[in-house]
């Protein structure tokens, strides 16, 4: 059954007003789903362009179903978007901090956005007589909520945590492109706070969620988020290295067959028909995105600051960096010549299917490598625009070409391309096969093995997985 975007009628009980700081992926997803549950949500966004787009029903990232969900909650007046100068607390008894926490140059947390949010909230607390609970939903390193976050809020408000306001960490577990479903059908709600009143308040907000609810210390809540993400990086790296071994044996071995045999062990079975951990044991060109690499590097940096050795985490980072080159070398071994000066059609620029996120995307990294090799490269990804790609590449690079439509892709493939590299599937097999049948000389390299088990495939497919 598809998740509904209908506003849930509230009972006679008056639901608290909620303020959300930041209208990025986490903030907007949180705001929409809470508004769907009947809460009055005010979302504050500092960027006037992003704010204007959201107010007109446009979202700054790709996610199926979010535009209609946004329009529904704005129309119902359960969600409103405001500039950051708007009173950040106002009538709200709950304030969720959902600003981005990007990675700094050395892997550490860039505190700029969250420091600005904390100063603004602290000033609001100073002039607010009633009790307010501040909820950190942004991903922050362990110790942050009880550390610098509490310190700044207390210093700017001249008030004390636990005496005048509550403070908690409530980490999000939202995937790019599937955040709405992940929040609507959450497997867990984690609340980290030392203030019992705050825990009760937050859990009352999540009363309609039918899932496990866990009360822990703030630092434990922060650790749960990082441990969750780093376990996924470990599994993906595990799969990638096993796939390297299979490729080295030179027998056209199927990773999916080996994986199927392993997962027949009942201990690997998922208990529900949703994405399970086994789905992360699938090789590819390496993991990217705005969360996993950042969180891995943040924990490595934290460990260095505390003189803790983390050889496994360091090895995961190194192995993931090498994976892209492994994929390119595999293509060259199949071609029996370098990729240099080839005309290439690249499918999939975002870091995975159904998202527009380009941060540390394997597709962007492959694009840059091919351009450095003087290849003529055209990219197709229906979730990414050319201006976004240019910004990510830092400049309108020579040779940078982006195909905006499926028809344009077909024309380029038939008229110009020598090679197709599919970083992840951005079109269906039914769309792809007519192109390959019309041009048998076109070589297709699939870095995720998306269609390997399809018996209709012709011989000119090569599978990295």
Angstrom CA distances, 288 to 74, 76, 321, 464, stand at 33, 37, 10, 18
Number of domains in the chain: 2
Rounded mean pLDDT for each run of 10 residues along the chain, 465 residues in total: 43 73 96 96 93 88 91 94 79 94 82 94 90 97 96 96 97 93 96 97 96 96 94 90 85 86 77 62 84 88 86 90 88 88 88 84 88 88 78 59 85 88 85 84 85 66 67
**Residue 4 belongs to some domain of the structure:** no
Question: Residues 199, 200, 202, 208: is their CA dihedral positive or negative?
Answer: positive
CB-neighbour burial class of residue 252 (10 A; exposed 0-12, middle 13-18, buried 19+): exposed
Residue 82 CA to residue 134 CA, distance in Å, equals 18
Q: Which CATH number does the domain housing residue 153 bear?
A: 3.40.50.720
Q: Are residues 98 and 150 in the same domain?
A: yes
Over the stretch 121-164, which tens digit does the pLDDT of each residue have? 999 999 888 999 999 999 999 999 999 999 999 999 999 999 99
b/e 327-363 (16+ beta carbons within 10 angstroms → b): bbebbeeeeeeebeebebbbbbbbbbbbbbbbbbbbb
Strand runs labelled E in 376-458: 376-380, 400-403, 419-422, 443-446
Task: Give the domain extent around 411.
Answer: 228-463
Q: Are residues 203 and 259 in the same domain?
A: no
Q: Are residues 336 and 305 in the same domain?
A: yes
DSSP 257-275: HHHHHHHTSGGG--SSSS-
- Which residue, chain included where needed, has tokens 């891995």? 296
What share of the chain in percent tops pLDDT 70?
A: 90
Q: Are residues 202 and 299 in the same domain?
A: no
pTM over 0.75: yes
Q: 3-state DSSP call for residue 457?
A: coil
Q: Are residues 61 and 127 in the same domain?
A: yes
How much is the pLDDT for 4? 41
């Amino acid at each position: 059954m598809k998740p509904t975007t209908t506003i849930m009628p509230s009972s006679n009980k008056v639901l608290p007003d909620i303020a959300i700081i930041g209208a990025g992926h986490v903030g907007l997803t949180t705001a929409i789903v809470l508004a769907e549950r009947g809460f009055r949500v005010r979302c504050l966004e500092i960027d006037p362009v992003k704010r204007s787009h959201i107010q007109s029903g446009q979202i700054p990232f790709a996610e199926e179903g979010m535009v209609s969900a946004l329009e529904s909650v704005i129309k119902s007046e359960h969600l409103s978007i405001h500039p950051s100068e708007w009173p950040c607390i106002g009538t709200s008894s709950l304030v969720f901090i959902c600003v981005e926490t990007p990675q700094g140059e050395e892997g550490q947390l860039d505190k700029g956005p969250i420091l600005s949010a904390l100063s603004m909230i602290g000033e609001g607390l100073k002039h607010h007589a009633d009790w307010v609970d501040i909820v950190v939903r942004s991903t922050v390193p362990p110790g942050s909520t009880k550390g610098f976050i509490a310190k700044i809020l207390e210093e700017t408000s001249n008030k004390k945590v636990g005496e005048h306001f509550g403070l908690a960490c409530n980490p999000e577990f939202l995937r790019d492109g599937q955040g709405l479903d992940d929040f609507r059908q959450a497997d867990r709600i984690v609340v980290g706070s030392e203030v019992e009143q705050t825990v009760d308040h937050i859990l009352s907000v999540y009363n309609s969620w039918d899932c496990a609810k866990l009360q822990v210390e703030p630092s434990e809540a922060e650790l749960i988020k990082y441990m969750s993400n780093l376990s996924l990086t470990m599994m993906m790296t595990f799969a990638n290295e096993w796939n390297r071994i299979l490729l080295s044996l030179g027998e056209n071995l199927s990773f999916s067959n080996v994986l199927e045999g392993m997962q027949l062990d009942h201990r690997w079975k998922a208990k529900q028909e949703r994405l399970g951990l086994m789905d992360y044991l699938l090789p590819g060109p390496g993991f990217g995105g705005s969360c996993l690499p950042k969180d891995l590097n943040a924990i490595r940096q934290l460990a260095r600051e505390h003189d803790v050795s983390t050889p496994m985490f360091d090895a995961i980072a190194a192995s993931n960096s090498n994976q892209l080159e492994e994929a390119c070398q595999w293509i060259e071994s199949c071609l029996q010549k370098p990729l240099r000066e080839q005309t290439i059609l690249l499918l999939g620029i975002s870091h995975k299917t159904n998202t527009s996120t380009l941060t540390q995307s394997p597709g962007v990294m492959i694009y840059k490598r091919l351009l450095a090799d003087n290849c003529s490269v055209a990219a197709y990804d229906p979730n990414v625009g050319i201006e976004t790609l240019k910004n990510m590449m830092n400049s309108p690079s020579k040779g940078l070409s982006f195909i905006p439509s499926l028809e344009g892709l077909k024309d380029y493939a038939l008229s110009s391309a020598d090679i197709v590299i599919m970083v992840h599937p951005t079109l269906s097999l039914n769309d792809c096969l007519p192109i390959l049948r019309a041009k048998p000389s076109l070589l297709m390299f699939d870095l995720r093995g998306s269609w390997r088990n399809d018996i209709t495939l012709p011989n000119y497919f090569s599978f990295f997985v």
